[in-house]
Amino acid sequence: MGLEQKVPEGILTTTLDSVINWGRANSTWPLLFGLACCAMEMIATGTARHDIARYGSELFRASPRQADLMIVSGRVSNKMAPVIKRIYDQMSAPKWVIAMGICASAGGPFNNYAIIQGVDKIIPVDVYVPGCPPRPESLLYALDKLREKQARESISADRLSQAEEQLAIEEIIPLGA
């Protein structure tokens, strides 16, 4: 939402793209959302020593409407999966997902009845971080990778995802009712 809605049809936005991407890449706010062990390393990344603020991502938002990035930090259980999907739907586009750790990426050591084998079964993932748990440095590297991806994005392509998002919102409105 926001800026790209104001750009009328038929106008080239190549230069705008880079400006907007620059802004987005430097202020990707993660969702304040911890699942398991990996969340501890995510918190460690947020504190002074590793200082995620260098990436403009120190503002962990508790509300999905204010967050751009979901760091799935830990194993996703069958009971938690619908909740994660719901939170993801509630985030406003553009939004990105980092699967932090082997559990979120592929189930990790828990190949059993309780754990979903990778969060990509329920939401699309942009960057996978290996490790159990990944060190804070790995998470920062993942943010680097995410920036590379963000730099290639274009707001005209975002329009599509907006339409999708509208659908998702319509889907969840009856929930509140």
If binding is defined by CB under 6 A, does position 108 make contact with ligand SF4? yes
Exposure on the CB side of residue 108, measured as CA atoms within 13 A? 25
CB of 106 to other proteins, least distance (A): 9
Residue 90 Cβ, how far from other proteins at the closest point, in Å? 10
Q: Which residues pair with 127 in a beta bridge?
A: 98
Q: Which of 43, 12, 2, 22 is nearest to 162 (CA)?
A: 2
Site string for ligand SF4, 135-174 (x = CB under 6 A): ----------------------------------------
For residue 131, the one-letter residue type is: G
Cα diameter, the chain: 52
Q: Which is nearer to other proteins, 7 or 86 (CB)?
A: 86
Q: In the complex, what is the shortest distance from the CB of residue 96 to other proteins, in angstroms, rounded to a whole number?
A: 13
Q: By CB under 6 A, tell whether 30 contacts ligand SF4.
A: no
Backbone dihedral angles phi then psi of residue 138, each to the nearest 5 degrees: -65, -40
